[in-house]
Amino acid sequence: MRASGPVPGGADRPVDGAERLARAALTGIVEPGDETGGRWLREHGPVELLRRLTAADPGAGEALSGASAKRLAGVRDRARGVDPARYLEAAAEVGGRLVCPGEEEWPSQLDDLGDARPVALWVRGAPRLRMWALRSVAVVGARACTPYGAHVAAALGAGLAERGWVVVSGAAYGIDGAAHRGVLAAGGATVAVLACGIDTVYPRGHAELIGRIAEQGLVVGELPPGSHPTPSRFVLRNRVIAALTRGTVVVEAEYRSGSLVTARGAQRLGRFTMGVPGPVTSGLSAGVHELLRGEGVLVTDAAEIVELVGEIGDLAPARRGPVLPRDLLDPVTARVLEALPAKVAVDTRSVAREAGTTGDEALARLYELHSLGFVERQGDNWQLASSAVHAAHVRRGGA
């Protein structure tokens, strides 16, 4: 994993307004995972790329390499209909924001995707994505799962949450939904990565679930507000889930299913690929078993997952004490940290009361502090990490 990106902490350090606006527009022009578009972006920067794609003179696009005239015409056509200011407004209406590469909240592990890196991410929810992603695991699987699969996904979600890990999934029916619900039931932290706009509810039946995730966790997507999912967008969304997390656990998957694409993507990116076995008589475990006969690691519970993904010290700063000095924490996070008494574990509610903030906000900051190594979780309660009291060194370049 590359250790690029700015030092975290402090207030946002936005890329300039013109670049943000250009990137907002480009999320509606460059399709997720389009490596040609990614290369243009790398070669010309967002502002210049947008200028070329929207210039009245069609020749302006000709300097863009590797695109057929037909394809370029299609992209230019899409570019004409895009209104980035409207995107930003629509995002704000649902409490969302745009997070761009290089900004403080950007999860720099997404840079591992190279030219397939998202142009930017649309994010809903109070927690900061970068911090949450530091200690996150993806739990994915079949939509039409069995009761066994749903049970296991929910148990893994809860178990990972109890161990202070953030669970990332796709908010789909079946395994995804069960994993998110397992986390929420345990009062934990979960991120839904959508294949549509963050203001768009898909699937419809998960409106309430996605709403709860946006309140207690994070809802993330590459596509601008108002975008709808397509089959290819589901597949390409999976690469973001794989890249964002330390590893991907497949709970149930048919032979050659989309969840396996996520898992193999994780493998290619140097993340851990894990699978939960099931009955060999179940077609919904056949894909997982295929994975486990290859590169996947068999896991049966949350403890085994954490044992595996927790091995890389780089991304698990909690194991070695805080990675940031206290005075680089943003004001709300610093207040939450100060709200923790010296030696006893307290529940989220009393932290929130003490810090003068809401329960959801306090929980978001506690998870962030957990990622940074300041606090530890004890069952449902939180306490100051013993190593956090005196530590005050900055570990530059960690991500």
> Based on CB atoms, which residue is closest to a copy of itself, 144 or 303?
303
Torsion from C-alpha of 86, 90, 93, 98, nearest 10 degrees: -90
The count of C-alpha atoms lying within 13 angstroms of the C-alpha of 278, restricted to the half-sphere facing its C-beta, is 27
Query: Rule CB under 8 A: which of 214-233 touch a copy of itself?
Result: none
The residues near 5 (Cβ < 8 Å, ≥ 6 apart) are 102, 106, 108, 111, 399
Nearest CA to 156 out of 178, 132, 187, 136 is that of: 178
The overall longest dimension of the chain from CA atoms, in Å, is: 67
> Based on CB atoms, which residue is closest to a copy of itself, 264 or 289?
289
Query: Rule CB under 8 A: which of 276-305 touch a copy of itself?
Result: 276-281, 285-286, 289, 292-293, 297-301, 304
CA atoms of 112 and 108, how far apart (whole Å) = 8
Pairing type for strands 96-99 and 121-124 reads: antiparallel
Q: Does 173 bind a copy of itself (CB under 8 A)?
A: no
What's the token pair of residue 84? 């980035």
- Listing DSSP states for 207-237 in one string gives HHHHHHHHHHSEEEESSPTT----HHHHHHH
Among the residue ranges 144-152, 194-202, 216-224, 389-397, the one whose residues contact a copy of itself (CB under 8 A): 144-152
> Based on CB atoms, which residue is closest to a copy of itself, 39 or 151?
151
Where is 248: in which H helix or E strand?
A: strand 247-250
Among the residue ranges 102-110, 148-156, 316-324, 358-366, the one whose residues contact a copy of itself (CB under 8 A): 148-156
What's the token pair of residue 380? 């449902």
Question: Any idea what DSSP says for residue 7?
Answer: P
List the x/- string, 249-278, binding to a copy of itself by CB under 8 A: ---------------------------xxx
> Based on CB atoms, which residue is closest to a copy of itself, 129 or 152?
152
Least Å distance, CB 395 to a copy of itself, is 32
**Total of residues contacting a copy of itself (CB under 8 A):** 20
Least Å distance, CB 301 to a copy of itself, is 7
> Based on CB atoms, which residue is closest to a copy of itself, 218 or 274?
274
> Based on CB atoms, which residue is closest to a copy of itself, 22 or 276?
276
Least Å distance, CB 297 to a copy of itself, is 7
> Based on CB atoms, which residue is closest to a copy of itself, 232 or 300?
300
Among the residue ranges 13-21, 68-76, 145-153, 219-227, the one whose residues contact a copy of itself (CB under 8 A): 145-153
Where is 355: in which H helix or E strand?
A: helix 348-355
Q: What residue ranges bind a copy of itself (CB under 8 A)? A: 148, 151-152, 276-281, 285-286, 289, 292-293, 297-301, 304
